[in-house]
């Protein structure tokens, strides 16, 4: 079954068409050389690089390599401040939240770091039925108050493109009554294996948000070591060009990522940068909408998770987050609940824009009402932050960040070239702040509990006092929407 599945999926011509003189865009010697040549950047050079980044320009590989080597404590502090400045300029003080929904843990691959790997016989294999997808969605949007999901699939004929599209469609069809109105999932992002173009074309038809595939490691030898030589995922270039195919299939909102801890972290940051620049170069300036940088977590029967050679410590992790923010200033950055709460909170002050909350990664765990939600034999890896959405929103509000449930962008066509232009010119934050306030109003009325409500109301009051409008008509529209939202109408956006 696996070999036919493999030949059905991988189309060699959908790799070769993107190569240039037979080469792909990851030149390992060049990356190593660039890292070696930029080892000791002086203060003046670092200042020049930070100025470029604050001007919302993508950095070059040499500039990025220089920042990766900064060790001076004062300069590191300046980088942290510059990263926050860039984030506030592009995204304002908004933070976006989502929940992962694991649909199926069947997998034909045997990735040495993942609990879902085929050789892990200790894993309970399960795929959600459509009734279960509906129940999970209703729990996520009705109990926790989520509006955005990322749906996650193992790679297997059981979770093929038909299953993927049917399950996404099922998510969108759920609506739940709430305290103040009703709630539903308004944006479904997807994390799945690389697909051929004809499969990818079916994703915009069901209305997905971002399509994510992580390269895991950009280093070929490591890639081979952890993915073997005969699995679907063994093909480095099939994965490397997943986003090229997605763009060609009409998905102009893509997310890239690397799994930190498999190989040298500086090399992986350079890989991500080359990937972002390659997408910009090939697709009219449209780079990745998000970058993810998961750190390797313990997982059941996953040998790579106990190999500590390339483990990334907290200080290096925070540095790599800061450098990514500065190197690709327009991109969204995702820090997941793999990380402990204190680290996640710190990353928000260095440029992270999206976080998951009330996360459960066991298949069917949201509707099962399992209090702790952590079961090694059912989940891909172990979580570091188990805060509920209510708790996360409260903690963010205390630090001056407003949680936005705005999903207007992709629904009114602010994607691809349009969103890139708005992000680069720092105009995106403007619409989104108005929508952030409207959706935060909804959420507080529908789901906020005691202390979260109190702090949330304070934050809304201060935001209402400082909103900037694009003319009187927009002000009138906002006031009208705010009044109607407070009265129980839902999903009004500008
Ligand atoms: N099966 C698809 C794939 O491999 O692309 C998509 C789903 S996979 C469950 C999502 C991501 O989880 C992977 O791309 C990988 O980066 C991450 N992951 C796997 N094992 C992990 C671990 N032990 N710790 C942290 N992240 C892990
Ligand atoms: Fe399968 Fe993805 Fe896990 Fe690899 S990372 S074993 S492909 S679910």
User: Residues 188, 151: contact at Cβ < 8 Å?
Assistant: yes
What confidence tens digit (pLDDT) does each residue in 31-51 have?
Answer: 999 999 999 899 999 999 999
Task: Look at residues 136, 141, 132 and name the one whose alpha carbon lies nearest to residue 97.
Answer: 141
Phi and psi at residue 182, in whole multiples of 5°? -150, 165
Average pLDDT, the chain: 94
Q: Which ligand has the minimum distance to the alpha carbon of residue 102? A: 1
Tell me, in angstroms, the distance from the centre of ligand 2 to residue 349's CA. 31
Which atom, in ligand 2's list, is nearest to the CA of 118?
Answer: 6
Distance of CA 213 to the CA centre of its chain: 10
- Flag whether pLDDT at 220 surpasses 60: yes
Tell me, in angstroms, the distance from the centre of ligand 1 to residue 295's CA. 10
- Flag whether pLDDT at 376 surpasses 70: no
Tell me, in angstroms, the distance from the centre of ligand 2 to residue 289's CA. 23
What is the token pair recorded at 393? 């929103």
Is the beta carbon of 255 within 6 A of some atom in ligand 1?
no
Is the beta carbon of 193 within 6 A of some atom in ligand 1?
yes
CB atoms within 10 A of CB 334: 24
Is the beta carbon of 120 within 6 A of some atom in ligand 1?
no
Tell me, in angstroms, the distance from the centre of ligand 2 to residue 370's CA. 24
Tell me, in angstroms, the distance from the centre of ligand 2 to residue 84's CA. 33
Architecture of domain 3-24+83-424 in this structure: Alpha-Beta Barrel (3.20)
What is the token pair recorded at 318? 């925070």
Q: Look at 47-56, 100-109, 356-365 and tell me which has the smallest mean pLDDT.
A: 356-365
pLDDT of residue 38: 98
Q: Which ligand has the minimum distance to the alpha carbon of residue 109? A: 2
For helices 341-348 and 389-398, what crossing angle results, to 10°?
A: 50
- Ligand 1, atom 4, lies closest to the CA of 193
pLDDT of residue 194: 98
Tell me, in angstroms, the distance from the centre of ligand 1 to residue 24's CA. 23
CB atoms within 10 A of CB 494: 18
**Tokens 């999206």 sit on residue:** 354
Pocket test for ligand 1, best of 103, 298, 380 (most atoms within 8 A of CB): 380
Q: Express as a percent the part of the chain with pLDDT over 90.
A: 85
Tell me, in angstroms, the distance from the centre of ligand 2 to residue 154's CA. 6
What confidence tens digit (pLDDT) does each residue in 228-263 have?
Answer: 999 999 999 999 999 999 999 999 999 999 999 999
Is the beta carbon of 108 within 6 A of some atom in ligand 1?
no
Q: Which ligand has the minimum distance to the alpha carbon of residue 232? A: 2
For the entire predicted model, the pTM comes to: 0.96
Q: Which ligand has the minimum distance to the alpha carbon of residue 303? A: 1
Pocket residues: Cβ below 6 A from ligand 2: 107, 109, 111, 114, 116-117, 154-155, 233
- Flag whether pLDDT at 301 surpasses 60: yes
pLDDT of residue 4: 75
Residue 284 burial (C-beta neighbours within 10 Å; 0-12, 13-18, 19+)? exposed
- Ligand 2, atom 2, lies closest to the CA of 154
Would you place residue 59 in the very low, low, confident or very high pLDDT band (cuts 50, 70, 90)? very high
> For residues 397 and 460, what is the distance between their CA atoms, to the nearest angstrom?
10
pLDDT of residue 8: 87
Tell me, in angstroms, the distance from the centre of ligand 1 to residue 114's CA. 6
Is the beta carbon of 155 within 6 A of some atom in ligand 1?
yes
Would you place residue 381 in the very low, low, confident or very high pLDDT band (cuts 50, 70, 90)? confident
Q: Express as a percent the part of the chain with pLDDT over 70.
A: 96
Pocket test for ligand 2, best of 116, 126, 361 (most atoms within 8 A of CB): 116
For helices 428-447 and 389-398, what crossing angle results, to 10°?
A: 130
- Ligand 1, atom 20, lies closest to the CA of 114
pLDDT of residue 408: 83
- Ligand 1, atom 25, lies closest to the CA of 296
What confidence tens digit (pLDDT) does each residue in 417-464 have?
Answer: 777 777 777 776 667 889 999 999 999 999 999 999 999 999 999 999
CB atoms within 10 A of CB 162: 10
What confidence tens digit (pLDDT) does each residue in 76-102 have?
Answer: 999 999 999 999 999 999 999 999 999
User: What is the pLDDT averaged over residues 315-329?
Assistant: 98
- Flag whether pLDDT at 373 surpasses 70: no
Q: Look at 160-169, 406-415, 480-489 and tell me which has the smallest mean pLDDT.
A: 406-415
- Helix residue ranges per DSSP H, 92-201: 130-138, 161-172, 197-200
Would you place residue 333 in the very low, low, confident or very high pLDDT band (cuts 50, 70, 90)? very high
Pocket test for ligand 2, best of 10, 117, 153 (most atoms within 8 A of CB): 117
Q: Which ligand has the minimum distance to the alpha carbon of residue 242? A: 1
HSE toward the beta carbon, residue 472, CA cutoff 13 A: 0
Is the beta carbon of 192 within 6 A of some atom in ligand 1?
yes
- Flag whether pLDDT at 370 surpasses 60: no
- Flag whether pLDDT at 215 surpasses 90: yes
Pocket test for ligand 1, best of 115, 257, 259, 302 (most atoms within 8 A of CB): 259
Strand partners, 177: 182
- Ligand 2, atom 4, lies closest to the CA of 111
Tell me, in angstroms, the distance from the centre of ligand 2 to residue 55's CA. 38
Is the beta carbon of 300 within 6 A of some atom in ligand 1?
no
User: What is the pLDDT averaged over residues 342-367?
Assistant: 94
Q: Where are the domains of the chain?
A: 3-24+83-424, 428-486
User: What is the pLDDT averaged over residues 171-191?
Assistant: 95
Indicate the pairing of strand 94-104 with strand 148-153.
parallel
- Helix residue ranges per DSSP H, 306-402: 314-327, 341-348, 389-398
User: What is the pLDDT averaged over residues 278-295?
Assistant: 97
């Amino acid at each position: 079954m696996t070999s036919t599945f493999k030949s059905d999926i991988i189309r060699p011509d959908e790799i070769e068409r993107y190569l240039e003189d037979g080469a792909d865009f990851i030149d390992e010697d060049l990356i190593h050389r660039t890292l070696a040549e930029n080892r000791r950047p002086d203060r003046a050079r670092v200042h020049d690089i930070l100025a470029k980044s604050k001007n919302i320009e993508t950095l070059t590989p040499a500039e990025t390599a220089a920042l990766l080597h900064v060790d001076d404590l004062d300069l590191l502090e300046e980088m942290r401040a510059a990263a926050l400045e860039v984030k506030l300029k592009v995204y304002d003080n908004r933070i976006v939240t989502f929940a992962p929904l694991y649909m199926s843990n069947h997998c034909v691959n045997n990735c040495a770091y993942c609990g879902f790997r085929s050789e892990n016989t200790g894993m309970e294999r399960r795929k959600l039925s459509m009734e279960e997808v509906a129940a999970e969605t209703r729990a996520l949007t009705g109990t926790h108050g989520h509006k955005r999901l990322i749906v996650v699939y193992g790679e297997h004929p059981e979770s093929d493109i038909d299953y993927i599209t049917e399950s996404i469609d099922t998510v969108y069809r759920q609506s739940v009554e709430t305290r103040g109105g009703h709630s539903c999932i308004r944006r479904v992002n997807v994390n799945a294996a690389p697909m051929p173009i004809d499969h990818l074309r079916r994703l915009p038809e069901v209305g997905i948000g971002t399509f994510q595939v992580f390269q895991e490691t950009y280093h070929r030898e490591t890639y081979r070591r952890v993915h073997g030589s005969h699995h679907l995922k063994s093909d480095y270039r099939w994965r490397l060009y997943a986003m090229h195919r997605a763009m060609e299939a009409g998905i102009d909102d893509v997310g890239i990522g690397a799994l930190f801890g498999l190989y040298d972290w500086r090399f992986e940051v350079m890989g991500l940068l080359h990937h972002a620049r390659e997408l910009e170069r090939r697709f009219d300036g449209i780079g990745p909408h998000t970058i993810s940088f998961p750190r390797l977590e313990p997982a059941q029967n996953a040998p790579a998770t106990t190999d500590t050679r390339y483990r990334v410590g907290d200080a290096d992790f925070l540095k790599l987050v800061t450098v990514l923010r500065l190197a690709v200033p327009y991109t969204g950055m995702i820090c997941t609940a793999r990380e402990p709460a204190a680290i996640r909170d710190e990353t928000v002050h260095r440029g992270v824009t999206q976080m998951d909350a009330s996360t459960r990664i066991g298949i069917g765990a949201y509707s099962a009402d399992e209090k702790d939600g952590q079961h090694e034999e059912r989940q891909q890896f172990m979580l570091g932050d188990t805060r509920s959405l209510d708790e996360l929103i409260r903690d963010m509000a205390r630090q001056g960040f407003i949680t936005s449930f705005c999903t207007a962008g992709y629904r009114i066509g602010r994607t691809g070239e349009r969103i890139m232009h708005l992000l680069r010119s720092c105009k995106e934050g403007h619409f989104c702040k108005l929508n952030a306030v409207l959706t935060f109003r909804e959420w507080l009325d529908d789901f906020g509990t005691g202390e979260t409500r109190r702090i949330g109301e304070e934050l809304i009051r201060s935001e209402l006092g400082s909103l900037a409008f694009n003319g009187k008509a927009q002000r009138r529209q906002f006031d009208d929407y705010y009044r109607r939202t407070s009265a129980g109408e839902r999903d009004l956006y500008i």
